[in-house]
Amino acid sequence: MFPNRIILVIAVIISLAAGFAGGVFITKDESVNSVDLFKKVINQEADKPNNLDFGLFWEVWNSVQEKYVDKNKLDAQKMLYGAIDGMVESIGDPYTVFLAPAISKKFEEEISGSFGGIGIEIGKRNGVLTIISPIKNTPAYNAELKAGDKIAKIDSKSTANMSIEEAVNLIRGKKGTKITLTVVTKESDPRDVTMVRDTIKIPTIEWKLIEENGSKIAYLGIYAFNQNIDSGFKKAAEEILKSDAEKLIVDLRNNPGGLLDSAINLAGWFIDRNEIVVIEEFGNGTKNEFRADGNATLKHYPTLILINGGSASASEILAGAIHDNRKVKLVGEKTFGKGSVQELQKFDNGSSLKVTIAKWLTPAGISISDKGIEADIKVEIAEQDIKDGKIEIGELGKDPQLDKAIELLK
């Protein structure tokens, strides 16, 4: 539907970049002899802002070129990329980023479901580099990194003022190599966590039948909305329909999101055709409504949805759609709050711009970005229980949120 539209908290996997400014392309070894032609030009193109003098940019550029002491350190291409980075970063939106060609492949790898690293999605919360969710059965997951952990250092390098893209580059590396993250959990002291990088396969979905006190409940875990989710969900849903399941628990915890189309497709299994899945609100106030186009095949099951601070983006959209349309209860903890739309614009030299073009609202009109989605029934998991190894997500008796959902469905 929208091949260039994404709703990832991307965190961990993005970046592209470009080599154009004011219509002038600058290669690495090329000096800009024609800069003087532009120094006094204001708004040469009709669609540029009024009263903005780009001559200052060129004055600074010339001054650096003429006066900087170590001229061998001046790289025109890097300087240009830095200027564009600074322009985009000044907006203050961590999801609007200028991405360099060398990193664009990493973005494609995440969308396709396979990449190298430690298996975390990262974003920014209050300007701090934060783990959105660890991906199941990866080095990060096995090292017990958690949603909400703050990353203070990457291999001893401070993350203060570090972009998401720079962090991605530092975290990812060759399979078999070690990496150390210094992380802070809530108010605890920083701790170093060393992991060995591995090839990461993003799981998409799994389900099992839980029989408890005479109830037969299908437990459906959805881990990501990547290119494999539609076929995987269809297979799981058909198996559930053929099983003895009488009730359904949908687990969206630690699901960092992914493709919008997939969130809409999955919603069609739970809500009636033509019901609103999500509303897209643009800066000019216009709105688009995305509606379900399925047969609500799973609607007849009494259902609960599990969420937590690692539920973001597409998983928030799906949870909000089912909750608002069917009044299905949400169990667990407040979601991450990543409800914005990024459009990927590609340039001829392989660089790209990922820019936020809209915000997502639930069918009830709640902005996901501003607040996240609150759980109807709050069940917090104690940090100490996690540290003590008492928590195992998806396992009865070791997962308080799942246990509560089963109790409510009895």
Query: Of the candidates 401, 313, 329, 405, which has an alpha carbon nearest to the alpha carbon of residue 362?
Result: 313
CATH label, 114-201, candidates 3.40.640.10, 3.90.1150.10, 2.30.42.10, 3.60.21.10: 2.30.42.10
Total Cβ atoms within 10 A of residue 25: 13
Q: By the 8 A CB rule, do 403 and 377 touch?
A: no
Rounded Cα distance between 148 and 130, Å, is: 6
Looking only at the bridges linking them, the beta strands covering 247-251 and 215-222 are parallel
64, containing H or E segment: helix 55-67
Residues of each domain in the chain carrying CATH 2.30.42.10:
114-201
Rounded Cα distance between 332 and 309, Å, is: 9
Mean pLDDT, contiguous 10-residue spans, the chain (410 residues) = 42 26 27 39 53 85 94 89 89 85 63 72 87 88 89 95 84 90 87 93 90 92 91 97 97 91 97 97 94 96 96 95 98 92 82 90 91 94 74 88 94
3-state secondary structure of 396: coil
Residue 313 known to be catalytic = yes
pLDDT of residue 349: 81
Rounded Cα distance between 262 and 363, Å, is: 17
The DSSP string of 300-363 is: TS-EEEEE-TT--THHHHHHHHHHHHH-PEEEES------EEEEEEE-TTS-EEEEEEEEEE-T
Q: Give Cβ neighbours of residue 307 (< 8 Å, ≥ 6 apart).
A: 252, 253, 315, 316, 319, 330, 331, 332, 333, 334, 335, 373, 375
Crossing angle for the helix pair 55-67 and 76-89, to the nearest 10 degrees: 140
Catalytic residue among 85, 251, 324, 399: 324
pLDDT of residue 271: 98
132, containing H or E segment: strand 128-134
Catalytic residue among 136, 153, 247, 338: 338
Residue 338 known to be catalytic = yes
pLDDT of residue 53: 79
Rounded Cα distance between 353 and 201, Å, is: 26
247, containing H or E segment: strand 247-251
pLDDT of residue 14: 27
Q: pTM for this one?
A: 0.73
Q: By the 8 A CB rule, do 345 and 288 touch?
A: no
127: DSSP letter:
T
Give me the phi and psi of 317, to 5 degrees please.
-65, -45
Residue 359 known to be catalytic = no
pLDDT of residue 348: 82
Residues of each domain in the chain carrying CATH 3.90.226.10:
205-340+355-409
pLDDT of residue 118: 95
Catalytic residue among 133, 313, 351, 369: 313
SS3 content of the chain, % helix, strand, coil (to 5): 25, 30, 45
CATH label, 205-340+355-409, candidates 3.40.50.300, 3.90.226.10, 1.20.1250.20, 3.40.50.2300: 3.90.226.10
Q: By the 8 A CB rule, do 147 and 336 touch?
A: yes
